[in-house]
Amino acid sequence: MTSAALQSLQEIDPHYPVPRVLEFLSAPDNAAFLEYVHNDPFGCHVFPGDIPNHPLDAFLADMDEGIRQAPRIHLWSYIPTCRYRCHFCQYPTIILNPQSASSQVVFRDLVDYNIKEAKMWLARVPSLAQAEVGEFNIFGGTPSLLPEPELRRLMAFYTSHFNFGAATMRFEGEPGTLTKDYLALLKELGFTKISFGAQSFDDRIIAACGRMHSADECVETIHNARALGFDWVSVDLIYGMLGQEVDDVRYDMEKTLELELSHVVCTKLHMEEFMKRRTGVSGVRESLWQKKGLVDKNDMRFPGLGKQYQMRELVELYLADGYREHPTMYFHRQGQPAEKWKALITDLDKQYPEVAIGLGGSSKCIGAEAINITSYPLYKQALDENRLPIDETRGMSPMQRELNAFKMALSTLIPVDDRVYQRRFNGKSFFANPVIDSALATLTRKGLVTVDNHVVMLTPNGVTLVEAIINTQFPTSQFPTAQA
């Protein structure tokens, strides 16, 4: 265990309680957990396959079979345009001035390429056209930069080529571009859910992020969406940011309760280099905050690990009564549904396929996964050559399928019921899986889970450390069958 990790863990705000997990992470025999959280990798929602270089045809066949068997799927489209790059961003984005003439060409090309890729998916995966879409998402980037004609063209294609009969439609934007008129357009097109990143409700923190909107614009966007009849408005908040203190997170939580948000995502800042190697929509470059000169120029510090866990516990405290966390980091108001697309792909009784179209998209089913190209020039080149713009495919051995199903279920924070698991795997118990059984013995001994009859439940420390649990106790590399 490094002294740097312990030093960061011991950095706490004396005005707030010592974080619950400090004692656990300080123990020498829990060094693997501390190293994981100190190194700051983000992987809880990434469940990779164990067979690299899975043939593309085999991946597509796996997807076709998975989609054919699933009651519904998650379908999403990634629009990578932004009018500026946030200081924490590692996502593949195209920075442009949305008002310039040259940008109009980019928008048209983006929609053309997105539609072309979607047509290729439909041709290569025959079951896709008829599959019931449970939720359709347009993610970004900043999709709300798309001019009205291009958005209408994009949606006309999707709604006429996919089965949207029972689909919920969700759109991600940015407060500076989600104007009343744009929200009205989204409502007309059938979107009922809106999400955007505020990151904070404090203008000082927003500015430190490099964001070009204000806290007032965030609040105005929420009110405008509600006035137009959107029944679900979600806001993303981040803790662990440059210059942020525990008091700042307290303020954000007070604003969250005041605004009665239907859904809020409270995520820890992640900027680790390994993201470049393992996620569908990140990792084309260092974030601006990783360039030391910019950090020095702001004359601010990142909060230590101890403060970050104080922030996390403050989030839990404020949202305990009115909200439920499902999955980790995603909080929905009691009486309202959880984040639907996350439930579709992670809940143990679902775990349906998802198909992602666009730059850096991440698609998967129970048997395989694929990551799209994250370089826009290479993405265009692939499509110009009539190739699906897929950069990496991985298959999943039978053991990995079982393990990923359990890890995804654990990430939801819902108790994992072995009876549900057995229905998924032809009567096979997760206790019969040697990796899961061994990990559960360790986690029970360490007080991170409880096992009662058929059910595994995370303890409070387990909920806080679920990312570390999933990524240190269930390593993919344990499987000798995982080979190309």
Whether 265 is covered by a domain: the verdict is yes
CA dist 304 and 185 (Å) reads 43
The upper half-sphere exposure of residue 279, i.e. CA atoms within 13 Å in the direction of its Cβ, equals: 20
Could you tell me if 121 and 207 lie in one domain?
yes
- Write the pLDDT tens digit of every residue in 158-211: 999 999 999 999 999 999 999 999 999 999 999 999 999 999 999 999 998 899
Could you tell me if 321 and 227 lie in one domain?
yes
Nearest 5°: the CA angle 201, 207, 208 is 105
Q: How far is Cα of residue 184 from the mean position of the Cα atoms in its chain? A: 27
Could you tell me if 128 and 267 lie in one domain?
yes
Number of domains comprising the chain = 3
Q: What's the one-letter identity of residue 329?
A: M
Could you tell me if 407 and 334 lie in one domain?
no
Could you tell me if 18 and 101 lie in one domain?
no
3-state helix, strand, coil in the chain (%, to 5): 45, 20, 35
- Write the pLDDT tens digit of every residue in 349-393: 999 999 999 998 999 999 999 999 989 999 999 999 999 999 999
Could you tell me if 56 and 179 lie in one domain?
yes
Q: Identify whether the C-beta of residue 77 lies closer than 8 Å to the C-beta of residue 372.
A: no
Could you tell me if 35 and 85 lie in one domain?
no
Whether 482 is covered by a domain: the verdict is no
> What CATH code is carried by the domain that includes residue 269?
3.80.30.20
pLDDT in tens, the chain (484 residues): 468 999 999 999 999 999 999 999 999 999 999 999 998 766 677 788 999 999 999 999 999 999 999 999 999 999 999 999 898 887 888 999 999 999 999 999 999 999 999 999 999 999 999 999 999 999 999 999 999 999 999 999 999 999 999 999 999 999 999 999 999 999 999 999 999 999 999 999 999 889 999 999 999 999 999 999 998 999 999 999 989 999 999 999 999 999 999 999 999 987 654 344 444 444 556 777 766 566 666 667 889 999 999 999 999 999 999 999 999 999 999 989 999 999 999 999 999 999 999 998 999 999 999 999 989 999 999 999 999 999 999 999 999 999 999 999 999 999 999 999 999 999 999 999 999 999 999 999 999 999 999 999 999 999 999 999 998 998 765 434 333 2
CA dist 435 and 425 (Å) reads 16
- In angstroms and rounded to an integer, the radius of gyration of the C-alpha atoms of the chain is 22
Domain span holding position 24: 3-39
Could you tell me if 272 and 188 lie in one domain?
yes
Q: Residue 228 phi/psi, 5° resolution?
A: -85, -5
Burial class (CB in 10 A: 0-12, 13-18, 19+), 466: buried
Could you tell me if 341 and 316 lie in one domain?
yes
Whether 234 is covered by a domain: the verdict is yes
